[in-house]
Amino acid sequence: MDGSKREFLDSLLQTSTPSGFETAGQREWVAYVSEFADDVRTDEYGNAIAVIEGGDPTVAITGHCDEIGFMVRDINEDGSISLTRIGGSDKTVSRGQHVVIHADGGPVPGVIGQTAIHLRERDDDSYSDIREQHVDIGVDDSEEANELVEVGDPITFEQRISELEDGRITARGLDNRIGVWAAAEALRRAAEHDPDATVCAVSTVQEEVGLKGAQMVGFDLAPDVAIATDVTHATDGPGVPGDRDTGIELGEGPVVARGSTNHPKLVEAVRTVAVDAEVDHQLQAAGSRTGTDADAFYISRGGIPSLNIGVPNRYMHTPVEMLDLDDLDATAELLGAFAARAAEFSYAVDI
């Protein structure tokens, strides 16, 4: 992956978008899709929709732009910052990390403190709850701290994108800036084929706190078909418990979920397109739910045929999430190819 596609991905990953504070990332996304979309619009909470006008059906290719993080819960007398979560932040990886507090006056760097190993009880390997952890910004009292930050300011780990071997990268918040990258790229690739369907790329907000943006978009846009692109657990790395092994591997292509939320006719259509386009893909069982925006789309209105397509991801919800760039590019290729052919298929269940 190179050129403008990689520049766009890096710009998304370098922009902090904790749930409820996604505006800066949405501006990056809107600027990119505006170059080829017929129309781009946003709603009151910042969900963004880019449209290539066509006929029926209306197909939504979606991802969520928000990431997990923290928030300033309180400012203590000694100037330290008490935390609360944004989304599913993991208390086992937060201590000893560099962070940025995104204050109105500009970014404030800090660290989430960890008592030195020399000073801890030798047999104490427990993990403090997020509410018991604190950010040290280097000041000595609350008066200094209050001049820099406020209660409710969002906090994210300091960003770093690392290039690994064999076309793999690691960064914070691949979940799910890669999904909105794939949605935008799918729209661009679909536009090159002048699709008969109306194709919408959607970047939703607040997925990490309960699929909120998708609920808004599902009702307002009311597409005929919705595909939510998100990360999914690659379990081919070391340390994964055997009973949690899904068989999903990095480098083996996008993952098509089956069951529950995932509409069987839409699954069939996407798999047909994958075979025809020679896009290798993997399958995943989702017997109860997907845990993605697809779960919100499919129960909107009278029911929207929906599907979750995953990009394999190791170490989810940590500062070192990992993916294979070929998987990501193949996901965009599959989504774009499906959008270009969406009018060929029927999405009604035969009973």
User: Measured between alpha carbons, how far is 174 from 67 in angstroms, rounded to an integer?
Assistant: 8
Averaged confidence pLDDT in the chain: 96
Among 22, 28, 185, 207, which one carries the catalytic annotation? Answer: 207
User: Measured between alpha carbons, how far is 348 from 269 in angstroms, rounded to an integer?
Assistant: 12
User: Measured between alpha carbons, how far is 100 from 102 in angstroms, rounded to an integer?
Assistant: 6
For the question of residue 207 being annotated catalytic, the response is yes
Cβ neighbours of residue 229 closer than 8 Å, sequence gap 6 or more: 61, 62, 63, 176, 179, 182, 183, 308, 309, 310, 311, 331, 335
pLDDT tens digits for 100-135? 999 999 999 999 999 888 888 777 778 899 999 999
pLDDT tens digits for 298-307? 999 999 999 9
Check if CATH label 3.30.390.10 holds for domain 69-157: no
Q: How confident is the model at residue 273 (pLDDT cuts 50, 70, 90)?
A: very high
Mean pLDDT across 207-218:
98
**Domain assignments of the chain as residue spans, ordered by start:** 3-67+172-344, 69-157
CATH topology of domain 3-67+172-344: Aminopeptidase (3.40.630)
**Domain 3-67+172-344 and domain 69-157 have a common topology:** no
Q: DSSP string spanning 124-137?
A: ------GGG-EEE-
Among positive and negative, which fits the CA dihedral 310, 315, 319, 322? negative
Determine the pLDDT at residue 116.
Answer: 87
